[in-house]
Structure 1
């Protein structure tokens, strides 16, 4: 089990819980701090005016709430803000959201009762996902609407997704013997007033973006291989004089893939040899097109962007991100804006821009392979049938191009799209959950583009009959995906096979670890 509260939660921890269904446990020492924090709030809040405990919320905080209505106030907050719309979030993303909220509570600064901790643990370990909608939060007083739908389920209302089907919450709670939450002091506000929706989605985005980048390096290496490119553009010597970590790591990854290839050419052997200088016009280009030659320079900043986004979002998932902050150690309560999601919002915008560029590189590499006038090595559209009668990968190219175009449009940043609301109390907001969900869409799209690129490379390898000349890494990829998508000559609908390729790209381990 992965202990929550024992130490900082890592990207690998979240990946193990989400994708490998690792169970979570609550660290007893951390839970003691949660209990101490709750006990302090209960004692401290007596005979004091404290936001969200005996006041209204947001612009209505000027109104005092009577003693007999304090607990009902928390229920009212959850129910009134359960106003989401649009598509339901994937159960996997909801699970990430719950992990993020649980981990924030385990920092022991939210004043919640341990009942909330136990209930979240049960939902996570039993793969019970509250029904949460994509539209609603503006990401500044927390992901209020998305987290309100979480709160609605915690108090036994609303609906949950279990084994892919929608059920009334209490039907599933009764099945597992789960007791709904009874509000103690401020659990309503604590549940909804945080960045856990954007943070959970953001963590999943980063895991998937890392996988996309790994495949992009692999496919970029393979296309250089099948067109017999020169080896110096990914050499250590060329890249080390550019002082960027990402670029040099990408070059290292490409060298690892191609180290035993029998197709990559040595420039010294082919172009620096005096015997080759008697030609007036060289048959092959002296330098490859940018989409082949500038892979390290294009994918390098994408790697650096992913790595920095990971640092920021991991910091956020291990932070206290609600308001007010209950400090039982210093015996005080601090009001502020830790629920504001600008850190995550900005990184999700940067991430989607970077992944859009990755999909653009894939599309340009694809176009190079499909255009016989550019590559001079393959028939048009890598058509293994009769030219003019068969069509090869022609139809798939349309899909790739239109999908990349959508990515480009989606790359407009949400971070600068603040709209004041809440009677202008929330006068500058992050739109962090929107940013994270749009980044997810860009990532989804990019897997589709890379699947088409993979199919095209497989066809090119079969056209050349060069399987035994491939590097060992490339040959392994070829064999794996040929089992999923066999060689084709005749025209037929192949969208189901292409989806199977996409699914494997998404679900396989990192093809090149980094």
Structure 2
């Protein structure tokens, strides 16, 4: 099913569907008249005598050099070839699909001056699975994601490389096998395709979508940990959180109340618990995860705006004037990526403390050391906890803000840059680390609840345990653990662990 996009009005839910399900996308027919008017205006400018940046001039520091009308097409081709300077591993196919979708959305605003033939070729590539190989590194997130977008654009003109039907191929050969033909770029079209924040934004959106799944998983595993530790539900009382007023905190506390409602374990000690207060990792779960939820929601608002924006340069305004500006500067995306990174690091940090609490017999309120029925002979979840600590520490190192690190480029013409692209790209690694941490908490908390038998957790949380136990049996004695960790991680990454309880969890967007 092709997702039809109305430029300026595409929701994050639609983009998340495209990311997770790899759906092809195409612009609504209503977008094409605007694009055609802007393309006609660029054609007029290219035929005129007045210098207009990127249409009949050089680029960047070379903008003062006038280009003759006969050389305009060569100018655009040279621009693409010279800017294919990316390095590193190719971006994942799901990211490339999202980049191309975002580029369609930007061009569809009708301010870029690009012919509809170019847009239709991108749509056909998405529909037929012709995905350019885009190296992951090379953008500083200003003047657009120039190098990575040039690698995308190179395929449109029959250059570059492609992943097609699972195999890398030269761009021209892949287009031919898919029944498509390369195009020659007209005035400004190369610039329209490589100026823009689509790579940074796609990476940040992927980080947001993945962080959302991890956060929802951590709310469930945090509730499981609370029950496994015989923690109190009193700190989740609604009025406590209403008195503070932060919506994320209110929402997480409400989710925890629903998840733990009806737990036999909780009811067994609600009136005779000698502990006055639980550790912060349990008691302050709404405050910490709620603050993370608020950060993700703020980042989501920024990224939804950016995803729908026209971000190339120059732009064709509604009165026909062609004006050079700076919408390609990715500072909003860089800030959003930094916010997501902070949230990801903190979700993992508090989850890791719950894991550490449960495996420690001094803190776990009667559970055996490292959650094995025969500690000593068996090490149980000892090293799973160590792995979670290693991942938590790595995420804390990766969370350093990228947006504060600028360096001048292009002979000081581009003298302040956002670093949004690598600030967003690290989110893939950070969220993968977080999937592992939350998966380890799922194993740890479920093992703790099993050891509380015959008492049972709540009916809702028991659904989550059932999903886990379909993949990972209880740990009765030591075994080769890596497959258990991998299976639990997959349940968090796919959302399968929380699918049966999703109605009790807060949304980010």
**1:91 corresponding residue in structure 2:** 93
**2:163 corresponding residue in structure 1:** 161
Matches within 5 A, 1:7-406: 8-45=9-46, 46-265=48-267, 270=271, 284-327=274-317, 329-384=318-373, 386-406=374-394
**1:278 corresponding residue in structure 2:** none
Which moved further from structure 2: 14-23 or 375-384?
Answer: 14-23
Q: Secondary structure at the match of 1:339?
A: coil
Counterparts of 2:203 and 2:493, CA distance in 1: 16
Counterparts of 1:181 and 1:399, CA distance in 2: 50
1:439 equivalenced with 2:441 (yes/no): no
Counterparts of 1:7 and 1:192, CA distance in 2: 20
Q: Secondary structure at the match of 2:316?
A: strand
1:502 equivalenced with 2:492 (yes/no): no
Report the TM-score when normalising by structure 1: 0.94
Q: Secondary structure at the match of 1:372?
A: coil
Kindly indicate whether the alpha-carbon contact (under 8 Å) linking 1:232 and 1:266 is maintained by their aligned counterparts in 2: no
Kindly indicate whether the alpha-carbon contact (under 8 Å) linking 1:224 and 1:264 is maintained by their aligned counterparts in 2: no
Unaligned runs of 5+ in 1: 272-282
Counterparts of 1:465 and 1:262, CA distance in 2: 10
1:347/1:383 CA distance change after superposition, 3 Å: same
Kindly indicate whether the alpha-carbon contact (under 8 Å) linking 2:224 and 2:442 is maintained by their aligned counterparts in 1: no
Cα offset for 1:68? 2.1
Q: Secondary structure at the match of 2:66?
A: coil
**1:277 corresponding residue in structure 2:** none
Unaligned runs of 5+ in 2: none
Kindly indicate whether the alpha-carbon contact (under 8 Å) linking 2:225 and 2:441 is maintained by their aligned counterparts in 1: no
Q: CA offsets per residue over residues 338-395 of structure 1, 9 Å max, x none?
A: 00000000110111011101100111000000110112321111113x3222110112
Cα offset for 1:496? 2.2
Report the TM-score when normalising by structure 2: 0.95
Which moved further from structure 2: 161-170 or 107-116?
Answer: 161-170
**2:4 corresponding residue in structure 1:** 3
Counterparts of 1:147 and 1:163, CA distance in 2: 21
Which moved further from structure 2: 397-406 or 313-322?
Answer: 397-406
**1:280 corresponding residue in structure 2:** none
1:411 equivalenced with 2:399 (yes/no): yes
Q: CA offsets per residue over residues 156-214 of structure 1, 9 Å max, x none?
A: 11111234432222232112111112112111111101000011111121111111111
Equivalenced residues, count: 499
1:488 equivalenced with 2:475 (yes/no): yes
Counterparts of 2:198 and 2:99, CA distance in 1: 5
Q: Secondary structure at the match of 1:449?
A: helix
Cα offset for 1:266? 9.4
Cα offset for 1:6? 5.6
1:163/1:445 CA distance change after superposition, 3 Å: farther
1:77/1:495 CA distance change after superposition, 3 Å: same
Kindly indicate whether the alpha-carbon contact (under 8 Å) linking 2:230 and 2:365 is maintained by their aligned counterparts in 1: no
Kindly indicate whether the alpha-carbon contact (under 8 Å) linking 1:109 and 1:320 is maintained by their aligned counterparts in 2: yes
Which moved further from structure 2: 354-363 or 118-127?
Answer: 118-127
Counterparts of 1:23 and 1:138, CA distance in 2: 28
Q: Secondary structure at the match of 2:266?
A: coil
Q: CA RMSD in A?
A: 1.6
Cα offset for 1:237? 1.6
